[in-house]
Structures are given as structure tokens and as C-alpha cells.
Structure 1
């Protein structure tokens, strides 16, 4: 589930900020107050099911009075609930209901789930995500019970530029879309690390063209390895496998896990194309 639309995020003074290009777009219909309320709700997707005012302040950057006013309103409307004992907020029934409705309408996660479970039998975590600005957003996950130290679930977010999931997403874009997205990522990146990040992106693009998947071997976190491939449809989803580096060495990634995730992505893409042809419309 994305913010406002797939590629627009709120910025100051009633304008929209394109998550692809980073440019502000005039829009007199845009409500800053509503956008700020969504920022409150989105804060919960960064991890942690219970958040206090201090954590909301840190994650949203909104003024404390604004947070107090919006959390009260969201609570009264059923989108948040307040734990009096611990003085924290949690997502309320209205938020959970909206999430369930959105998920139920997304056919790709339903189609991908059995294949994700098959990949999970390899002993590593499997995730399905889509791009949201400069991050990848997990839509579904199959967690390997034997793994320690890597816990990702629906709603988790990871950077585009350094993770296997994000790199595979970049590789799936058209040249023009990719150039625009990379320019946006550069703008929002630390200049001191961008040169290294850009080299990693170039390597991943070549790898995807050659092997059909992208790997991330410590680029995101030194102790985590991952491999991913894109599912092409009406919207691009990415499926990945990830785990601790010591359990997922480079040779295993390239000899087994990479080909496996690429094969699954191709199977799901083929299914979507067949369904599209049968219905005479765009891919699901």
C-alpha cells in the first residue's frame, strides 16, 4: 500500500512531491492536513507496533502540537487506539480494515504466495514488495523459523539503492524511468556514500541483464545477503530471498538461490501475461 498515489508524496505549502523525480508539483486540491495525518499512520510501517509521541515526532518530523492534534483525531475516528498504561498508540480497527481491503484487491500477492512458500522451503526468508519513493515496501513475507537476526514482515521498508529487492526493481524499469529514479535516489542520498552506491547499482544492472536477478551481498547491511527478481505486471512487484551472510554465501546465491528466485518471478510474470491475453486487457 502506498501513500497518496504510487509516485507522489506530500511536501510543504500544499504541494506534491514526486517520489520519482523529487520535483514539487502545484496542486491547489492537495490537503496538507490530510497528508500529515497519513504521515502519522505511515510511521507505524517503519517497524514497531506501538509508538509514543516522541517516536512519532522522530519518524514524521511534525511539530508536537500537530502530532497531538492528529493522533487525537485519528483515535476518535478509529484509525488509532491509545494504550493508557504504556502511553503509546497502535493502529486501530479502521486502519486494519483498510489494509485488509487493499491487500484483498491485489491479485499478485495472492498468486505469488504459494511460490513464496515453495522458496521458503530453501530455508531463508522470502519477501514480496513494491517501490514506495526511495524505499521498497514489503507486501507479504514468508519467514524462515530457523533464521536469527532478520525479521521482516508486511509493512517493513528497505532502501531501494542498496537492497536486492530495490536493485531488481531498478533493473526492471525502462531506461528513462530508471534514469529518473536514480536521479531521485541521488538527490535524497548522502553525497559521501553515493559514489559507492552508484557503483553498486551499475553492478546490479549488469548482473540482472546477465542472470535475471540482482544480489546484494552486504551492501545494505554487512551481515545480510539477499537476491531478488522482478515480477512484471500492471505494477512491478519484486520477490526476494534474504538471510544472514554466514548462512547465505555468495556461491549459494549464484548457484542456487538466484536462479530459483528468477525462475519464480518468470513463472508469475508468465501467468499474468496469459491471464491478460485471456481477458484481452493489460496485465494484472
Structure 2
């Protein structure tokens, strides 16, 4: 006779093992993305706290799916081409990105600066679109860049208009130092967020990269929730010098408002959770 209790227990146990395997595979991919160009089985096992045979089995599975690749000379592993396909699919299906293409290009032409569109992922912002500044100097494509939220105007714009619980959690978390002007005092950063909520835009002054500055405004969707931010990025002497600073702030806020309407937002809401 079938023991329903045993069957349920076995099902639960199998599900837990599956979830654990997925988490471990995700941890391997994160380590390969942050820990260097190539890592060996022993290094990965030490970093994620899992036995070497388990890591080796997971790597073989990930390799078969094209998510990691093994160097034939060193035997170490790196991220595989399959991730690029997944990343491109994410960008192609991301509504904020697809809706922002025209608005970002227009803002870049009007401002003469590069324009970034970003979303918040954990305690970082992820750049999902980058419109180059119009002039033809060498520029690096920044789509896919991950930046600590506290060191960029995009992150401040999103957090200032997001739920109060998220704001409190992020302020209580790690505030990385990327340059000498990165803000590490939660009280100072909280005051900046209050200012962002009042003015409608955030400012970065060489906090992630020396010599660069940014101005960004939040973008909302049809549910009036903040879903990301759009902003200009460029040399500090151009972006933050008056009267250019005020002119750029107006352009950025107008563009964010129009992009929000394109996403279905009726108006730009006040900061959520206030």
C-alpha cells in the first residue's frame, strides 16, 4: 500500500535537493563573474563552501549547457557563451529598455552627453541601455555594467522613490568605496535621498569614477512603482557646472517623465513609502 507520508517526504526532499543544486550553480556563476577570468574546481569549492566532487559535477552540467567553458591548457573554468545569449534575451524582453531606446537617444542628442538607463538589482544598479554621446570620441559600451547604488545618480534616483523598507535596508548595508568621494556615511546619504525626493533627480559627483559625474531621474510604470532610472553621464566639469547642471536636470526629468508615461504611468508619484 502506498504510504502517502513517505511519498510526500521523498518529494519534499527531492525538491530541496533541486533548489540547493540551483543555488550552488548560481553561486558558481557569480564567482566566475566576480572572482577573475578563470577559476579552478578547488578555488570554486573553497569560495562557495561545497565539496569538490559536487562542484565538479555542477561545472560539467553547466559546461554541457554552454554556461561555463573549460580552458584546455589550465583546466580552469570561465563563463560560457550561453550566458551572452541569455543576457541578450533579457535585454530584448526588458520593457524599460525597449521603451527607453528612442528617449535615451533623444536625450543624448539634446544634452551632448552619454545617457544610461538602469534598474536596481540587489544593492547594485544594472545598466540596461547606453546611448553614446553625439560627438565621435572613443567611448566604451557600458550595457551590463553593475554599479553600487550608492555611488551613482541612477541608484540614488531609484532608491529615493522606492519603498521605505528598501531604502532603510540599503542604507544599513555595505556602502562601497570606489573613489575618495564615495559616500559611506548613511546619514549623509539619507539626506541626499531626501533631497532627490524633493528635486526629482539625483546627482553623482565623481563617486564611482574620478572625473565623471551624473544626473538621473526615476522612471515609473503603470502601477506607479519606480522601475528604474535614466540619466546623463559625462565629465564633471561639463555636467555639474552651472548653468549646464540646471539645464541637464530639466532635460533628464522631462525625459524620465515622458518615458514613464510611455510605460503607462499617469504621473510622476511622490516617493513611495514616505
TM-score, normalisation: structure 1: 0.69
Equivalent residue, structure 1, for 2:103: 115
Name the count of aligned residue pairs. Answer: 241
Take 2:91 and 2:158, find their aligned partners in 1: how far apart are those partners? 20
1:267 positional shift: 0.6
Q: Secondary structure at the residue paired with 2:120?
A: strand
Change in CA separation of 1:30 and 1:200 when aligned onto 2, cut-off 3 Å: farther
Equivalent residue, structure 1, for 2:151: 162
Q: Say which is worse superposed, 200-209 or 106-115, in terms of deviation.
A: 200-209
- How large is the RMSD of aligned CA atoms in angstroms? 3.8
1:172 positional shift: 1.1
Q: Secondary structure at the residue paired with 2:112?
A: coil
Query: Deviations 1:134-173 (Å, cap 9, x if unpaired)?
Result: 111122222336566x745222110112211111111111
Take 2:220 and 2:18, find their aligned partners in 1: how far apart are those partners? 31
Take 2:58 and 2:34, find their aligned partners in 1: how far apart are those partners? 19
Map 1:31-50 to 2 at 5 A: 31-43=19-31
Contact 1:109 1:140 in 2 (8 A): yes
1:251 equivalent in alignment to 2:242: yes
1:28 positional shift: 5.0
Change in CA separation of 1:123 and 1:194 when aligned onto 2, cut-off 3 Å: closer
Change in CA separation of 1:274 and 1:207 when aligned onto 2, cut-off 3 Å: closer
Take 1:253 and 1:198, find their aligned partners in 2: how far apart are those partners? 29
1:211 positional shift: 2.2
Query: Deviations 1:197-222 (Å, cap 9, x if unpaired)?
Result: 32442342233233210001123333
> For the pair shown, which has the larger CA radius of gyration, 1 or 2?
2
1:106 equivalent in alignment to 2:94: yes
Contact 1:165 1:229 in 2 (8 A): yes
Contact 2:172 2:186 in 1 (8 A): no
Q: Secondary structure at the residue paired with 1:112?
A: helix
Gaps of 5+ in 2: 1-14, 267-274
Q: Say which is worse superposed, 153-162 or 82-91, in terms of deviation.
A: 82-91
Match of 2:196 among 165, 183, 208: 208
Equivalent residue, structure 2, for 1:97: 85
1:171 equivalent in alignment to 2:157: no
Gaps of 5+ in 1: 1-26, 276-284
Map 1:181-260 to 2 at 5 A: 181-185=170-174, 196-233=184-221, 236-251=227-242, 254-260=245-251
Q: Secondary structure at the residue paired with 1:236?
A: strand
Take 1:208 and 1:85, find their aligned partners in 2: how far apart are those partners? 52
Take 1:261 and 1:47, find their aligned partners in 2: how far apart are those partners? 36
Equivalent residue, structure 1, for 2:6: none
Equivalent residue, structure 1, for 2:254: 263
1:132 positional shift: 1.3
Query: Deviations 1:105-139 (Å, cap 9, x if unpaired)?
Result: 32221110111111222332221111111111122
Equivalent residue, structure 2, for 1:153: 142
1:231 positional shift: 0.6
Take 1:169 and 1:274, find their aligned partners in 2: how far apart are those partners? 15
